[in-house]
Amino acid sequence: MPQSAERVLDHASLFKEPEYEAMFEAKRETFECPHPPDKVQEVADWTKGWAYREKNLDRKALVVNPAKACQPLGAVFAAAGFDGCLSMVHGSQGCVAYYRSHLARHFKEPASAVSTSMTEDAAVFGGLTNLVDGLANAHALYDPKMIAISTTCMAEVIGDDLNSFVIQAKDKGSVPQDFPVPFAHTPAFVGSHVNGFDVMVKAIVANVWESMEGDPTPDGSVNIIPGFDGFAVANNREITRMLDLMGVEHRLICDVSDVFDTPTNGDFQMYAGGTTVEDLKAARDAKGTVSLQQWCSEKTLEMIADTGQQTEALHYPMGVGGTDRFLMAVSAMTGQAIPEALELERGRLVDAMADSQAWLHGRTMAVFGDPDFVHGMTAFLLELGVEPVHCLSTNGGPAWEEKMKALLATSPFGKDTQVWARKDLWHLRSLLATEPAEFVIGSSHGKFLQQDLGVPLIRLTFPIFDRHHHHRFPTLGYQGGLRVLVTVLDAVLDKVDRETEETGISYDLTR
């Protein structure tokens, strides 16, 4: 074998060694009953045609490679955004390993969450004992200020009742009676991580507000709900910076920017930063609440509106128009003017867009991801003169589709765009094979479309597993707009270089 202590090979080189090549070939022949390569190629080509596309789009009972995750992942992400909050997922252990690894692979940071570790006996008799013991262990071992419970498929299928279980656990002394244990049912077989985020934020806010006495006394401040955002580390800081420049008293409801960006200083921090209980109490007296992602906060905003607060739901405020709408919403709520410093930033972004406009005008792109991301990204592409060909969201529904169509109708660049709600990445493969776009914007999962169809992937949304540290730079606000512009432009100019380098004609130093 070529691997040795003196010469350690990475798997990419190791698996090209003849021993491994022979082993893979033997495996194919012995276990995979392979069809002849020309037949495989023939079928692969057929699946890129219109006839297969029709069948694929007709598909009802099967999802292939959905661009979404299950509800509890969103709940775990949400719980991480509160000070000293430990996420506990009631269900099987493997699910929680998946949420932790998914978040850790994206943020390159440890992601903490515990499980009630249900196994066969709990699946038959119910998970009460697991939850009673789990709460006691988690409280004793990890010293949290709050434990937020969500559920996996298994607990939901058998109908475990978290409200009753938490009451019984407290009665049995797992945690003190006054210890906060917000909980949210997050059945993974409906909705997606954006719904899980929503119900967990609502549960945590409600848990604090229900313990408060008296009526709210509005004070002129605003609450911001960032939503499920893979770029939250930088975006939350960018939103805070802009609001500080405006002189607006504000707080984020769910802030993961510190816990997913802890420094290496010799101390492991299981909890870092996050919205405090004091912040949440003050949030009840805010003049209003702005959600940066409507589809991540529908239930939470409903509850907040019931207290008499103004609410505003945006769609991931990217680019000039998106950031304008965010700042104007805050300004309208608080009466604070938008300062000159932010006007300058706006002007610089517009200047950069104008400088590069010739390279972007008329370029064609496809976008996939969460409903708010696709809306915000598409709005920015239209500002840049890019023509979106396909906009696809597995967890976007009919209401999202309507909003997308209304957005596209505002620009001539959107007149031929097709919107695909509830479709997956196998659908997108068919769509791009038959009606191509020059680029696809989405998460790392798009790299297989790149491999299969040769359409370059621009990574601008969660999860990004195969590139590092993108989430440390904002995508929201005018500064974020600059970064998104540069990312898109780099992909376009790299393609221009690839297309011209062979002949040398127009392989220019200056673009």
Tell me which residues are annotated as active site. 153, 157
CB of 209 to ligand SF4, least distance (A): 28
Q: How far is CA 142 from the centre of its chain?
A: 27
Q: How many of the chain's residues bind ligand SF4 (CB under 6 A)? A: 7
Of 98 and 465, the one with the shorter C-beta distance to ligand SF4 is 98
Of 92 and 293, the one with the shorter C-beta distance to ligand SF4 is 92
385: left (phi over 0), alpha (psi -120 to 50) or beta: left
- Residue 158 near ligand SF4 by CB under 6 A: no
Q: How far apart are CA 201 and CA 183, in angstroms?
A: 10
Of 152 and 257, the one with the shorter C-beta distance to ligand SF4 is 152
Half-sphere exposure of 161 (CA within 13 A, CB side): 4
Q: State which H helix or E strand residue 421 sits in.
A: strand 418-421
- Residue 225 near ligand SF4 by CB under 6 A: no
How is residue 250 annotated by DSSP?
E
Contact in structure between 116 and 127 (CB atoms under 8 Å): yes
Of 95 and 327, the one with the shorter C-beta distance to ligand SF4 is 95
Tokens (6 digits) for 288: 């209003």
CB of 299 to ligand SF4, least distance (A): 19
The helix/strand/coil state of 272 is coil
CB of 169 to ligand SF4, least distance (A): 21
Please list every residue from 176 through 195 that binds ligand SF4, using CB under 6 A.
188
Q: How far apart are CA 457 and CA 451, in angstroms?
A: 9
Q: How far is CA 203 from the centre of its chain?
A: 20
Of 71 and 235, the one with the shorter C-beta distance to ligand SF4 is 71
- Residue 153 near ligand SF4 by CB under 6 A: yes
- Bridge partners (DSSP) listed for residue 275: 82
Residue from 118, 81, 67 nearest 96 by CA = 118
Tokens (6 digits) for 432: 């791009």
Contact in structure between 243 and 224 (CB atoms under 8 Å): yes
- Residue 200 near ligand SF4 by CB under 6 A: no
Please list every residue from 93 through 112 that binds ligand SF4, using CB under 6 A.
95, 98
Residue from 19, 83, 30, 77 nearest 370 by CA = 77
CB of 99 to ligand SF4, least distance (A): 7
Q: How far is CA 424 from the centre of its chain?
A: 16
C-alpha triplet 452, 455, 366: angle, nearest 5°: 115
- Residue 152 near ligand SF4 by CB under 6 A: yes
Tokens (6 digits) for 321: 């128009």
Tokens (6 digits) for 53: 């596309």
Of 152 and 294, the one with the shorter C-beta distance to ligand SF4 is 152
Count of other CB atoms within 10 angstroms of residue 115:
22
Q: How far apart are CA 225 and CA 372, in angstroms?
A: 13
Please list every residue from 37 through 76 that binds ligand SF4, using CB under 6 A.
70, 72
Please list every residue from 247 through 276 that binds ligand SF4, using CB under 6 A.
none
Q: How far apart are CA 404 and CA 367, in angstroms?
A: 12
CB of 153 to ligand SF4, least distance (A): 3
Of 100 and 315, the one with the shorter C-beta distance to ligand SF4 is 100
CB of 330 to ligand SF4, least distance (A): 36
Q: How far apart are CA 163 and CA 128, in angstroms?
A: 11
CB of 155 to ligand SF4, least distance (A): 9
Of 188 and 379, the one with the shorter C-beta distance to ligand SF4 is 188
Contact in structure between 379 and 322 (CB atoms under 8 Å): yes
CB of 92 to ligand SF4, least distance (A): 7
Binding site for ligand SF4 (CB under 6 A): 70, 72, 95, 98, 152-153, 188
